[in-house]
């Protein structure tokens, strides 16, 4: 896979993952052209098109287009499954994911993608394992934050202090802890309220294959 | 001091902007705040600020000032910082920035971090965008991690290794030892990435390929287990166990089995098994079948398996899912040459796909249909394809028309059918046919002597209906000019002859001249056609009148022709019949330059640019009548420079070189000179080479000579075309060099040519 783009029906970019080295200018140009091309497609058309010397595989889930550029020897049909798997991961993580989730938590969308694909290829084919890894990483992040907040008051200074060493004691992260209480993904840093929930990306039966 | 806004706060704020300008203002304000925060080296909020910057970057705003900050985040000890730092690096940095290299040390440290999630971040970043230098520096670390027992890291290291190999292929060898027991892993993630790594290595190196062939039995076993094993909730997708892994294994098998009989045989059974047992109700099963078919077709499989594969594709064509139909057509297109008969069996399904709603499917179906046309099915297929041509989108018409012409040329069951087919294309898609179709069709029509009356009649009728499609109009004009006499005499045998008078015909042609729909090229055709009719019709006066009117046309091309035709009437009337005679059969040849069909008169061998025996120069009419049909410019009677007499450029030792002149259309600055070399001595001049040089303000182009033997005793000439570009209209001068072998000895001579007539360069 050379790159993956997520964009809305108005052509707004929600995520861009590039697996080939290109300048910012080139990326912008490609994005603009491709978004235009895909948005011009009618619903009855198939999910594949030829563009420059690449094959483009795209699929719309609710208000978001997922668009991948693959090479000649890659399998288009399995790429559709890759896209679907990514959507399932997002859905499981956010709980009935919608476009707003991805807008407001774009960095999480990237983290999830980076646990699923690496260098354009799938690194993990088990849904469970990808989600577990994300959970653990989130926990790692939160525990530090939590510890930070806990001790910030006492030390009264910058959080760049010995509380970091507490982290490694509190959590042995090399073997994923069993039976650890599953925390809903970092709402600690989320301070907005969801207004106007769009359709969930997966709730429509036609998406389920 | 107020802490900077959180990421999600900022996102919410920016989304309240009602105009682009408002958004830009907010962003600029925030960027300014972030910039000063960076300047103050604020560690606390660096992570938050970079995250906000990444959001703004996604909206399209510049974020380069955050690049160094990403590096600082990566170097931090906090996991949150590293996570955002690496993300920022992947989004904002690329190979071209020098800053990129500063990451190397951080990544190296993180690859050895005590926390696997940190190691994972480093591997991911390196595997996604590491430059060649970075890969060189860190390959050792990656190789180490490839051997770890931690499957979380091992799978990432494998894909990271793939990236390293892509960037620095010479490093491939160092990963070889670590691949030793990759396939004995139980962990699917490691298996999948290992197969990807092995695939990459085998594709890049024939040595690796031979080395890894021994893995075929193991791969077959793994695949078999995936198919035969029961339900595995962790890897199940719609009843299929780990389709991603299955597809990658099939692809690796393809590479290993290609051009190797033993490997191909070893995988025969499993391929048949996958092909017959895979559930096809959902996309995922079809994805596996698709990969299986690709593998079967690429390795040395036995014919039964190949037929099985093609039948799978045939079934795909009937699938409701258009994506499946699409891949089927793509694959069939690839195999139609090698397994032609098997694909032929699915011809009717393929032809049905011409009616599909999807543009890509239609295009593929069209290409495949043309590939399947043969002498047996030409009539039926052509019916479908012409129907398709009628109703398809404009983007297809040009290719379809060309395809029809080619197929018709190859397999036409009769001349009449051929001409009818061409007519159909011209009338339904006439504006879309390619430029070179016009001369090709003219040649075809000329050579179908017995159909002339029928053809001109049909074309005439078509003109009465519609004069907007230029290629149709051009071909029709030409035919009427040539065969107008057959038209008015009502000689058609194939169908009911129409009744038409000379005046009616001339009305139509004159109508073309005045119509706004006609392009200048078309007008040229029309005028020439009218002129030709002067020797076929009796209404010569009317024609003379038309020709003289256009002598003052604004269109320079028309004017020039009209003036020359006028001259033909006035001064060279005795030559007119010979000049405007019926065209003889043409022979098409390909030369290095644009295809030129050189016209000769009568029964002699057609003169083409590289035959060995150029025809004897007979009547003066021949020399003057240089009709050259350029492949791209359509048919013109080249401007007969009757006004410029030929000149003798060189005459020594029995070798005489004459120059004749034409002007190349449409560029009036190019003079086209044809040299005619003749030899009056008793011995042939062999290895004859003519070279020319011109002063600096000119440009010269020498085309291929007709031959390099100038036969003795004036039995023939060598001709060669020189094109001289003279934009400054300066006096033409030339220096020529002649080399040849005569009676065994080499001869060389230099000469200056200064006696060019003024009309040739003014």
pLDDT at B357: 82
**Does B93 lie at the interface with A, CB-CB under 8 angstroms?**
no
Looking at residue B703, its pLDDT comes to 85
Residue of B nearest to A3 (CA): B128
| pLDDT confidence of residue B1 | 66
* Stretch (H or E) spanning B246: helix B243-257
Q: SS3 letters for B397-425?
A: HHHHHHHHHHHHHHHCCCHHHHHHHHHHH
pLDDT of residue A36: 96
Calpha distance B95→B90 (Å, rounded): 10
What residue in A sits closest to B292 (Cα-Cα)? Answer: A75
Q: In terms of pLDDT, which residue wins out, B527 or B437?
A: B527
A118 to chain B: which residues are within 8 Å by CB? 123-124, 127-128, 156, 159-160, 193
A48–B128 C-beta distance less than 8 A: no
pLDDT at B569: 86
Using a CB–CB cutoff of 8 Å, tell me whether B44 touches chain A.
yes
Distance between CA atoms of residues A188 and A167, nearest Å: 18
Q: Is the dihedral of CA A150, A104, B34, B72 positive or negative?
A: positive
Among A54-58, B86-90, B661-665, the minimum mean pLDDT is found in B661-665
Q: So what's the pLDDT on residue B341?
A: 87
Query: Is a pLDDT exceeding 80 seen at residue A117?
Result: yes
Q: Where residue B44 falls among pLDDT bands split at 50, 70, 90?
A: confident
Distance of alpha carbon A183 from alpha carbon B472, whole angstroms? 74
Beta-carbon separation of A209 and B282 below 8 A:
yes
Distance CA B240, CA B235 (A): 8
Write down the mean pLDDT value for chain A: 76
Which chain B residue has its CA at the smallest distance from A51's CA?
B360
The pLDDT-based confidence of B14 (bands split at 50, 70, 90) is very high
Q: Do A75 and B247 touch (CB under 8 A)?
A: yes
B448 contact partners, CB below 8 Å, separation of at least 6: B415, B418, B419, B455
Average pLDDT on B344-373 reads 91
Residue of higher predicted confidence among B16 and A181: B16
> Integer distance in angstroms from the first to the last C-alpha of chain A?
22
Instruction: Determine the pLDDT at residue B446.
Output: 87
pLDDT, position A146 = 52
Q: Residue B719: is its pLDDT beyond 70?
A: yes
Report the pLDDT averaged over residues B507-511. 91
Indicate yes or no: CB of B237 within 8 angstroms of CB of A75: no
Give the Cβ contact number of residue B260 at 10 Å.
Answer: 17
pLDDT band at A144 (very low <50, low <70, confident <90, very high): low
Tell me the nearest-neighbour CA distance from B142 into chain A, angstroms: 14
Cβ within 8 Å, pair B43-A158: yes
pLDDT for res B16: 94
pLDDT score of A85 more than 70: yes
Q: Determine contact: A51 vs chain B, CB below 8 A.
A: no
Stretch among A32-41, B59-68, B488-497 having the lowest mean pLDDT = B488-497
Neighbour-count burial for B521-537, b at 16+ CB within 10 Å, e otherwise: bbbbbbbbbbbbbbbbb
B-interface mutation test, from A12, A26, A75, most B Cβ less than 10 A away: A75
Considering only CA atoms, which of A169, A182, A80, A71 is closest in space to residue A132? A182
More confident residue, B492 or B366: B366
Q: How far is A42 from chain B (nearest CA, A)?
A: 9
Q: Which residue has the higher pLDDT, B183 or B591?
A: B183
- Binary contact (B360, A121; C-beta < 8 A): no
Confidence category of residue B663, pLDDT binned at 50, 70, 90: low
In this predicted model, what pLDDT tens digit does every residue of B141-169 receive, in sequence order?
A: 999 999 999 999 999 999 999 999 999 99
Cβ under 8 Å to B: A residues 120-149: 121-129, 133, 136-137, 140-141, 144-145
How high does pLDDT run on average in chain B? 86
Q: Which of B10, B78, B93, B186 to mutate to test binding with chain A, by most A CBs within 10 Å of its CB? A: B78
pLDDT of residue B621 exceeding 70, the answer is no
Residues pairing with B749 in the sheet: B738
What's the whole-number mean pLDDT along residues B280-308? Answer: 93
Residue B416's pLDDT band, with cuts at 50, 70 and 90, is: confident
**pLDDT tens-place string over residues B742-753:** 988 999 999 999
The pLDDT of B456-485, averaged and rounded, is: 90
Q: Decide if pLDDT at B301 tops 70.
A: yes
A140 CB neighbours in chain B (<8 A) are: 79, 115, 117
- Compute φ and ψ for B518, nearest 5 degrees: -80, 135
Task: Kindly report, residue by residue over B558-584, the tens digit of the pLDDT.
Answer: 888 888 888 888 888 888 888 788 887
DSSP string, A16-45: EEE-S---HHHHHHHHHHHHHHHHTS-TTS
Number of cross-chain residue pairs from A and B with Cβ atoms under 8 Å apart: 191
Asked if B333 reaches chain A (Cβ–Cβ under 8 Å), the answer is no
Q: Which residues pair with A5 in a beta bridge?
A: A16, A67
Comparing B666 with A87, the larger pLDDT belongs to: A87
Report percent pLDDT > 90 for chain B: 52
> Quick one: average pLDDT of B45-67?
94
Measured CA to CA, the distance from residue B45 to residue B438 in angstroms comes to 72
Phi, psi of B700 (to 5 degrees): -125, 140
Contact A49 B360 (CB under 8 A): yes
d(CA B528, CA B639): 11
Q: What is the nearest CA distance from B122 to chain A, expressed in angstroms? A: 11
Across the range B546-557, mean pLDDT stands at 87
Which residues of A fall within a CB distance of 8 Å from B286?
77
Q: Which residue is closest to A118 within chain B, CA to CA?
A: B124
Rounded to whole angstroms, the Cα distance separating A208 from A84 reads: 9
| More confidently predicted of B376 and A159 | B376
- Express each pLDDT in B237-264 by its tens digit: 998 999 999 999 999 999 999 989 999 9
Decide if B323 and A77 are in contact by the 8 Å CB cutoff: yes
- Band of the pLDDT at B624, cuts 50, 70, 90? very low
Select the residue from A45, A109, A125 to test the B interface by mutation, using most B Cβ atoms within 10 A: A125
Residues of A in contact with B99 (CB under 8 A): none
Which residues, including other chains, have CB under 8 Å from residue B147's CB and lie 6 or more apart? B154, B178
Number of other residues whose CB lies within 10 A of the CB of residue B198: 25
**Is A168 a residue whose pLDDT tops 50?**
no
Does the beta-carbon distance from B324 to A77 stay under 8 Å? yes
CB atoms within 10 A of CB B552: 10
CA dist B620 → B396, B616, B623, B641, B697 (Å): 47, 12, 5, 13, 34
């Amino acid at each position: 896979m050379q790159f993956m783009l997520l964009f809305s029906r108005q052509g707004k970019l929600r995520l861009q993952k590039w697996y080939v080295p290109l300048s910012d200018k080139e990326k912008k140009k490609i994005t603009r052209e491709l978004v235009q091309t895909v948005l011009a497609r009618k619903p009855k058309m198939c999910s594949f098109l030829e563009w420059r010397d690449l094959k483009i595989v795209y699929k719309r889930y609710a208000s978001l287009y997922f668009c991948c550029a693959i090479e000649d020897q890659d399998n288009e049909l399995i790429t559709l499954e890759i896209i679907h798997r990514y959507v399932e991961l997002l859905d499981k993580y956010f709980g009935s994911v919608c476009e707003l989730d991805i807008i407001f938590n774009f960095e999480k969308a990237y983290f999830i993608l980076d646990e699923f694909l690496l260098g354009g290829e799938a690194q993990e084919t088990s849904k469970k394992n990808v989600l577990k890894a994300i959970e653990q990483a989130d926990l790692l992040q939160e525990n530090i934050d939590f510890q930070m907040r806990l001790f910030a008051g006492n030390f009264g200074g910058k959080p760049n202090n010995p509380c970091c060493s507490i982290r490694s004691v509190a959590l042995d992260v090399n073997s994923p802890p069993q039976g650890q209480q599953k925390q809903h993904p970092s709402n600690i840093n989320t301070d907005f309220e969801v207004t106007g929930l769009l359709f969930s990306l997966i709730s429509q039966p036609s998406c389920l294959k | 001091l107020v802490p900077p806004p959180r990421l999600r706060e900022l996102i919410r704020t920016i989304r309240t902007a009602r105009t682009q300008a408002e958004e830009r203002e907010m962003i600029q304000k925030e960027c300014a705040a972030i910039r000063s925060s960076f300047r103050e080296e604020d560690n606390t909020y660096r992570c938050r600020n970079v995250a906000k910057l990444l959001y703004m970057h996604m909206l399209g705003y510049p974020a380069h000032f955050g690049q160094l900050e990403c590096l600082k985040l990566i170097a931090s000890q906090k996991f949150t910082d590293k996570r955002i730092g690496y993300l920022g690096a992947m989004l904002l940095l690329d190979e071209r920035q020098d800053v990129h290299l500063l990451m190397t040390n951080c990544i190296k440290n993180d690859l050895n971090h005590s926390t696997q999630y940190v190691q994972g971040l480093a591997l991911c970043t390196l595997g996604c965008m590491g430059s060649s230098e970075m890969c060189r520096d860190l390959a050792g670390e990656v190789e180490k991690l490839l051997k770890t027992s931690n499957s979380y890291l091992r799978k990432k290291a494998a894909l990271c290794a793939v990236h390293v190999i892509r960037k620095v292929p010479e490093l491939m060898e160092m990963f070889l030892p670590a691949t030793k027991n990759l396939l004995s892993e139980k962990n699917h993630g490691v298996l999948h990435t290992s197969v990807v790594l092995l695939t990459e290595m085998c594709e890049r190196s024939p040595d690796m390929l031979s080395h890894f062939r021994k893995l075929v039995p193991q791969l077959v076993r793994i695949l078999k287990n995936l198919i035969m094993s029961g339900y595995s909730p962790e890897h199940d997708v719609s009843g299929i166990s780990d389709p991603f892994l299955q597809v990658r294994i099939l692809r690796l098998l393809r590479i290993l089995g290609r051009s190797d009989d033993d490997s191909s045989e070893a995988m025969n059974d499993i391929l048949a098994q996958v092909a017959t047992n895979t559930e096809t109700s959902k996309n995922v099963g079809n994805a596996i079948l698709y990969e299986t078919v690709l593998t079967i077709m690429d390795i040395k499989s036995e014919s039964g398996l190949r037929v099985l594969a093609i039948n799978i594709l045939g079934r795909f064509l009937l699938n409701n899912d258009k994506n499946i139909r699409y891949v089927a057509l793509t694959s069939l297109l690839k195999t139609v040459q090698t397994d032609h008969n098997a694909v032929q069996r699915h011809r009717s399904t393929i032809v049905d796909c011409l009616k599909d709603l999807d543009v890509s499917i239609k295009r593929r179906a069209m290409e495949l249909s043309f590939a399947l046309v043969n002498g047996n099915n030409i009539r039926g297929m052509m019916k479908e394809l012409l129907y398709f041509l009628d109703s398809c989108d404009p983007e297809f018409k040009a290719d379809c028309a060309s395809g029809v012409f080619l197929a018709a040329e190859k397999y036409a069951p009769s001349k009449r059918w051929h001409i009818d087919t061409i007519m159909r294309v011209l009338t339904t898609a006439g504006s879309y046919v390619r430029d070179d179709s016009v001369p090709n069709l003219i040649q075809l029509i000329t050579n179908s002597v017995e159909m002339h009356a029928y053809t001109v009649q049909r074309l005439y009728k078509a003109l009465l209906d519609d004069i907007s499609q230029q290629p149709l109009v051009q071909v029709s004009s030409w035919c009427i000019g040539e065969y107008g006499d057959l038209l008015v005499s009502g000689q058609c045998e194939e169908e009911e002859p129409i009744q038409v008078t000379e005046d009616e015909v001339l009305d139509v042609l004159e109508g073309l001249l005045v119509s706004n729909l006609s392009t200048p090229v078309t007008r040229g055709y029309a005028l020439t056609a009218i002129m030709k009719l002067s020797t076929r019709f009796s209404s010569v006066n009317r024609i003379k009148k038309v020709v003289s009117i256009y002598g003052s046309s604004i269109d320079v091309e028309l004017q020039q022709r009209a003036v020359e035709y006028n001259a033909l009437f006035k001064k060279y009337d005795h030559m007119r019949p010979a000049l405007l005679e019926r065209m003889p059969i043409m022979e098409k040849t390909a030369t290095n330059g644009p295809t030129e069909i050189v016209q000769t008169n009568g029964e002699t061998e057609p003169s083409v640019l590289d035959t060995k025996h150029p025809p004897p120069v007979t009547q003066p009419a021949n020399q003057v009548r240089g009709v050259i049909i350029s492949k791209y410019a359509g048919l013109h009677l080249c401007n007969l420079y009757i006004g410029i007499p030929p000149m003798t450029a060189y005459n020594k030792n029995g070798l005489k070189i004459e120059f004749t002149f034409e002007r190349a259309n449409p560029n009036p600055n190019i003079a086209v000179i044809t040299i005619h070399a003749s030899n009056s001595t008793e011995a042939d001049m062999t290895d004859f080479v003519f070279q020319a040089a011109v002063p600096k303000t000119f440009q010269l182009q020498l085309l291929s000579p007709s031959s390099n033997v100038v036969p003795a005793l004036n039995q023939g000439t060598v001709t060669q075309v020189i094109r001289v570009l003279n934009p400054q209209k300066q006096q033409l001068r030339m220096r020529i060099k002649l080399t040849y072998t005569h009676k065994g000895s080499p001869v060389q001579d230099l000469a200056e040519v200064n006696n060019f007539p003024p009309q040739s360069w003014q």
